[in-house]
Every structure is written in structure tokens, then in C-alpha cells.
Chain A
Amino acid sequence: MRLDILNHGYSPGAKLLFAVIRMFSGHPLPDAAKVVFYRPGFYGTQATKFTHEAMRGPSAWSVADRELMAAFVSKVNECAFCVGAHTATAGQAYHDHAKVQAVLADLESAPVEAGLRATLRMLGKLTREGKLGAEDVREVLSAGVSRQQVEDALAVCAAFNMTNRLADVFGFELLSPEASEAGAKYLLKRGYQ
């Protein structure tokens, strides 16, 4: 990573944890997971709480749908690290990697239901343009998505617009396909906190 403190500046407890995880999983802890252990009182503790709530809290969206939203927002932000990690996670959660690939390749022709497609379109616009109009939300609502689901999707979008930026700016090392699958398995079992 671009800051030495994020490579070497962790507490002894965190370093021990990283070593144990590496020993048991066979993979080093992904940088996204490491960063929240650096001075966790500044960012990590609150950030993981919010992200976990958005990604794993109660919602009419499935975990798979929310992981797909995470991958999609990451794609719009051109964040290679997060695209890799959350493509793997969404693919595992749906038991359908092809579906996730199809959405990322071309949302409009991908085999997803109208409500999810409209929601992804909305998150893409918000992420790309930084603004959203009432008419954009109405389109999503008229595709059968509830107001609460819109709100839930916006939280996913917010969480990944933070993480994507940190991944790119701090320079998270890309995961191998095997490490992505292992990380995905962990995220589906334990979540983000």
C-alpha cells in the first residue's frame, strides 16, 4: 500500500491476528480488511459497523443482491480491487457467477429482474454523476421496488463509494482468484464486522 503505516504500522495484537489468519486461510488478509485495523478508533470501527449494517442488516434485498450492487458500484468507480472481491462474493451468494459477469458486462441485457436492474441503473447514475433526481427514483419505484429498498440500496452505494476510494488511493493489492474466493466465503459467513 502507498502509506508505510498501512503496511507496517499495526498494533502487536493486529499483527498477531493477521499472522493467524494467514496460517489458517492460506492467504494473507486482504488490504481492505487490514486497513480497518489501523487506528481503528479513527475509521475502522465505525466504518465496519455501517458497512455491515448496509450489507448484512435486515433488508428486503438478499445478501447476493447487495453484493451485486457493491460490485456494480465498484465497476462504475473503476475500482479493480473491489470489483474482483465483490464479483466473487456476489457470484458465490447467487451460486451463479455468470449472472454477475453479465450484469457487469451489460446491465441492460443481463438476466436480472426489472426492479434490481432499475436500482442498479440508479446507483450507477448517482455514483457517476454525483446527483439524482426525483424522476430517477420514481422509475425505480415504478419497477416495483419499495421505498425502503431504495433506501437500503443507497446505503450500499454509500459504503462502497468510501471503500472504493480507499482501495484506489491507498493502493490495495489485487487479490488472486483463489484469494478472492476465500475472501468471499469469509464475507458470506461472517460479514463485515
Chain B
Amino acid sequence: MPDADKKQTAHRALVDRVLNGDGKASPELRARAFSNADIPTPLQALIGKVATRPAQVTDADVAAAKASGFTEDQIFELVIAAAVGQSARLYEAGLAALAEANDGGGAG
């Protein structure tokens, strides 16, 4: 299935770039934002909401991150890492369910 491979390859390249490429936030911090785990306190409100309820992010959440000394470039990277992380988990969960459904299919 070359087309699927192409999509998944492009997705893997994106994840790799966001986690391991050059950036202003450390790869460790980006990895934590990606996994939404062990987030430094001033970033918790913002990053937690990016992952689970992005529509509820407020100006105050972003302001709190800035006030604690994170630069806009770092916030840019960490928000992206958190968004790509949540999306990657959904993608993986969906593909795993598809793999698991392998033998039980009906008319497909």
C-alpha cells in the first residue's frame, strides 16, 4: 500500500522533526509537551489544554507561560509539540484498532 506508506512516512518525519530537530526549547521539554507529562508548572495549564481541550485556551494561559520566562519561540514549539503529540496518539490508536479488526471484518 504505497499511498498509506507515504502518509505515514510524512507523519513520522513531522514527529521526528518536532521532537528532535533544531529548536529553541530543549528536546527534553519538547518530548514532555508531546507526551503531556511532567510539564513545568507555569506551562501546565496551557499544554494540558492543548492536548485535551484546546478550545478553552485563554490569553491568560499564554500570558502565564510568557511571564515565567519562556520566549514566544519556545511557546510556539511547545504548543506544536503538544498538538502533534495528541494527534499522533489518536492516529496510533486508530491504526492499532484497524490492525486488531483484521479478522473480524464483515462485508469489507
Contact = CB atoms under 8 A, between A and B. Distances in A.
Tell me whether A and B are bound partners: yes
Interface of A: 2-6, 9, 38-39, 41-43, 46-47, 49-50, 53-54, 57-59, 77-79, 122, 126-127, 130-138, 141-148, 150-152, 154-155, 157-159, 161-162, 164-166, 168-170
Q: How large is the interface on B (under 10, 10 to 19, 20 to 34, 35 or more residues)?
A: 35 or more
A168 B104 contact: no
B6 A57 contact: yes
Given A132-B93, A138-B106, A50 B4 contact: no
Q: Which of B13, B80, B84, B94 gathers most chain A CB within 10 Å?
A: B94
Contact of B54 (A145, A158, A168): A168
Contacts of A144: 107-108
A47 to B, nearest CB: 6
Interface of B: 1, 3-4, 6-8, 10-11, 13-14, 17-18, 21-23, 46, 49-50, 54-55, 57, 59, 62, 72-73, 75-77, 79-80, 82-84, 86-91, 93-98, 100-101, 104-108
A41 B89 CA distance: 23
The binding surface of chain A is classed by DSSP as helix
A67 to B, nearest CB: 16
Contacts of B98: 137, 147, 150-151, 154
